[in-house]
Amino acid sequence: MSLDHPIFAKWPAEHPDRLQLFGLPTPNGVKVSIMLEECGLPYEAHRIDIMANESHDPAFLALNPNGKIPAIYDPDGPGGKPLALWESGAILIYLADKTDRFLPEDPGRRYEAIQWLMWQMGGAGPMFGQLGFFHKFAGREYEDKRPRDRYAAESARLLGVLDGRLDGRTWIMGEEYSIADISLLGWVRNLIGFYDAAEIVGFDRFKHAQAWLERGLARPAVQRGLLVCAA
């Protein structure tokens, strides 16, 4: 079996029968690697070095014109036809449907889980990322601290929303671990770890979110997924 897509000219597949992952262990990248590990789907991972601008290589842009990781190529997509897919949230929904796992079957609860996934994508992810820029990276050199403080306040507010949701719940959807949790674990971990922003957002206040993060990071599939494409 050979894979007929320009991406494989630069990143050839050793196992073309398997789902192909193109990523890096960023908060968005680990969403998909964790999901794949949780699902147990056979896959092959390709490291895309964003610092070397590989996500803007023409071969990668042929897979994802937006030039961002992660992206996948499934040789056994819907109807047995190949599927190239990007945007981490779309990939999570696709993999949940493909494996019938980590997304509630009940239609109402399914959309509730997707609602929290969209909340992560439109709120928590972008805001945590901006705080990381202004608190740890180049933005920290700015004399004007209003941008940092704005994103710190909004990140803290979002953590409060998450904390409230988790009050009395093991996972975001109750006792059912789902793609809503998978989408958020890497971002909250990054915020208080790599971004070193636990103090500025007052993470100690959010006891339910703390316990949820500890439960999530204790899962073996999560631990494996965090290391995919690391080197």
Residues in the chain: 231
The CATH class, in words, for 7-101 is alpha beta
The pLDDT value given to residue 3: 80
The two tokens of residue 215 are: 């439960």
CA pair distance 125, 87, nearest whole angstrom: 13
The pLDDT value given to residue 2: 60
Residue range(s) in the chain whose domain bears CATH number 1.20.1050.10: 107-219
Helices then strands, each counted (H, E), the chain = 11, 4
- What tens-digit pLDDT sequence spans the chain (231 residues)? 568 899 999 999 999 999 999 999 999 999 999 999 999 999 999 999 999 999 999 999 999 999 999 999 999 999 999 999 999 999 999 999 999 999 999 999 999 999 999 999 999 999 999 999 999 998 988 999 999 999 999 999 999 999 999 999 999 999 999 999 999 999 999 999 999 999 999 999 999 999 999 999 999 999 999 999 998
The pLDDT value given to residue 1: 52
Beta bridge partners, 47, equal 23
CA pair distance 1, 16, nearest whole angstrom: 6
CA pair distance 193, 199, nearest whole angstrom: 11
The pLDDT value given to residue 231: 82
CB atoms under 10 Å from CB of 27, counted, come to 24
Residue range(s) in the chain whose domain bears CATH number 3.40.30.10: 7-101
CB 186 within 8 A of CB 27: yes
The pLDDT value given to residue 145: 93
Distances in whole angstroms, Cα of residue 217 to Cα of each of 78, 113, 175, 208: 32, 20, 16, 14
The pLDDT value given to residue 63: 97
The CATH class, in words, for 107-219 is mainly alpha
